[in-house]
Amino acid sequence: PAGEERHEFGAEVGRLLDLVVHALYSEREIFLRELVANAADASDRRRFEALTDPSRALPDGAAIRIVPDKDTRLLTISDDGTGMSHDELGRYLGTIARSGTRAFGKDITASLADAKPEDRPSLIGQFGVGFYAAFMVAERVEVISRRVGEEDAWRWSSEGQGSYTLSPATRDLPGTDIILHIKADADEFLEPYRLETIVRKWADHITWPITIQRDGQAVAANEGTALWRKSKSEISEEQYTEFYQHLGHMFDKPWATLHWRAEGTLEFTALLFVPGMRPFEPVESTRESRVRLHVRRMFITDEAALLPPWLRFVQGVVDTEDLPLNVSREMLQSTPVLARIRKAVTNRVITELRNKAKDAEGYASFWENFGPVLKEGVWEDSEHRTEVAGLIRFVTSVPTAPDAAPGQNLVSLAEYVSRMKPEQEAIYYLVGDSHDALASSPQLEGFRARGIEVLLLSDSVDAFWPERLDKFDDKPLRSVTQGLADLSKIPLDSENQAEAADVEALLPALKTALGNAITDVRSTDRLVQSAVVLAASQSGPDLQLQRMMRRSGQ
């Protein structure tokens, strides 16, 4: 045809195309995500250009339009974005000299070449493959585009095999049409309902309206509300709640809502929720945080572990400008950007919990739901250990009013320390199966008689974390069952004063009688009423941990 130019693809494009077309079947639907993302990007860019040149303003009703046509087997994705000039078409769609893929094109081809053939499909699925993903479902792709500010339009056309053509075309308005000649085995992508499902799954949060042509009508396909991108003042509590319920399939209200925008070296928006109830989950399937990662509103993954496992109950979205849309899984694991986002987000959640903890009663309901999960942080997160320890709440041996409001009988380590006896050196705790059993344990006698408070720990994680938390506020943590807590320095309360019996003479006889069942028998200040009590040795595992090990057959 007149004016048609033929161009060869850059070498890398040829290779990428080959891999895309031949290796990726399982996740073909992501082509639509990529094309819709490009349309949204181009619309965003035009809106930005219009800031300085009002003649470039988008038309009223600007949208991304998806039009399937079973008769012609064409699927068209149109936008009112910047469009592309003749040169831009060649540069952007003919080489890998462009934003995302320029930086990662190397990774893609290199890691694909290294991967076993059977691993390649899933590997490619993990990389966004951008515009070229269209060739997974199309035997020919045509792009008709008119750059905003120019009169001429151009047609780019290719079968994805080595070369493309450029020829003059017409288009009434600036913008772009991507026209896919759908392959024989890809009929599903001519089905409006199928397309709608894909848009809902991958592009629901694009803020440009997306429509899909069905029975001759353009039907809205996305909600278009990236709620987190709005400012707080524009969002009602009901909207937050609705979004929270949609996100986590919850039907309660969030206990805490955190919504903020980080600007400066790191740019992201986060909207996070602490649920008001424990999700119904008989067996916990995963410890990973499921907070969703978006890049420029586009959903990328909920497997980016944006929060540590001990904050996995937090739900929400983090949306960043600082990653490319086609970020790979490998990159998600290694990029410093994500590491910095994780850190910022984690610290923010900790700060929020600390603030909310000031309201003891409100905090008690949170503690009831997620306390045991939070405690795992002391066990496994050396970086945040002390901060997490400050968030823990305890039931203690000091009786509280039976009709006390929930939360009133919960104590923090700081409160415990402030109530310590002047002569008391350590923070004492006792681990067991239930508060009731613990409260009546003879292990506590000596402590009670001296008015020393003991933390009563009965979650299964309690057998583990205290030994990791060496000290709190410079006071060591010590299990009352472990070795001989030195209570002799602390005087007994007046009503417990009693003549200390001389039991030393009895010890050798007891040792002989018990033989190998024990390592030692000692006299102790710990008991007041009971005659004997079991103790763990100072260095070995605590009694409760020994019990658990026996139960699990170790």
For ligand ADP, the binding residues (CB under 6 A) are 34, 38-39, 42, 79, 81-84, 92-93, 98-101, 130-131, 176, 325-326
Nearest 5°: the CA angle 60, 65, 68 is 155
Calpha distance 182→410 (Å, rounded): 64
Rule CB under 5 A: say whether 441 interacts with Mg ion: no
C-beta of 81 vs 192, nearer to Mg ion: 81
- The HSE-up count of residue 47 (CA atoms within 13 Å, CB side) is 12
C-beta of 325 vs 345, nearer to Mg ion: 325
Sign of CA dihedral 196, 331, 351, 390: positive
C-beta of 87 vs 423, nearer to ligand ADP: 87
DSSP summary character for residue 294: E
C-beta of 79 vs 196, nearer to ligand ADP: 79
Determine contact, residues 180/13, Cβ cutoff 8 Å.
Answer: no
81 touches which of Mg ion, ligand ADP, none (CB within 5 to 8 A by kind)? Answer: ligand ADP
98 touches which of Mg ion, ligand ADP, none (CB within 5 to 8 A by kind)? Answer: ligand ADP
Calpha distance 253→276 (Å, rounded): 6
Span from 16-24, 123-131, 458-466, 515-523 in contact with Mg ion (CB under 5 A): 123-131
- The HSE-up count of residue 456 (CA atoms within 13 Å, CB side) is 21
- CA 267 centroid distance within chain: 17
Q: Smallest gap, in angstroms, from Cβ of residue 148 to Mg ion? A: 18
Phi and psi based region of residue 40 (left: phi greater than 0; alpha: psi -120 to 50; beta: remaining):
alpha
Q: Which of 9, 33, 38, 169 binds Mg ion (CB under 5 A)?
A: 38
C-beta of 130 vs 466, nearer to Mg ion: 130
> Which residue type sits at 506?
L
Name beta bridge partners: 214: 217
298 touches which of ligand ADP, Mg ion, none (CB within 5 to 8 A by kind)? Answer: none
- Tokens linked to 250: 């919850």
| 453 known ligand binder | no
Q: How many CB atoms lie within 10 A of CB 206?
A: 28
92 touches which of ligand ADP, Mg ion, none (CB within 5 to 8 A by kind)? Answer: ligand ADP
Buried b (16+ CB within 10 A) or exposed e, 304-341: bbbbbebbbbbbbbbbbebbbbbbbbebbeebebbeeb
Which single residue is written with the structure tokens 């899909």? Answer: 212
Dihedral angle, C-alpha 133, 135, 137, 139, nearest 10 °: 170
Pairing of strands 455-457, 471-472: unpaired
C-beta of 130 vs 371, nearer to ligand ADP: 130
Q: Smallest gap, in angstroms, from Cβ of residue 128 to ligand ADP? A: 7
Q: Smallest gap, in angstroms, from Cβ of residue 302 to ligand ADP? A: 21
C-beta of 111 vs 145, nearer to ligand ADP: 145
- Measured from each CB, the residue nearest to ligand ADP is 130
Q: Which of 81, 83, 125, 130 binds Mg ion (CB under 5 A)?
A: 130
Residue set of the binding site: 34, 38, 79, 84, 99-100, 126-131, 176, 329
* Annotated binding-site positions for ATP: 34, 38, 79, 84, 99-100, 126-131, 176, 329
Residues forming contacts to Mg ion in the complex (CB under 5 A) are 38, 130
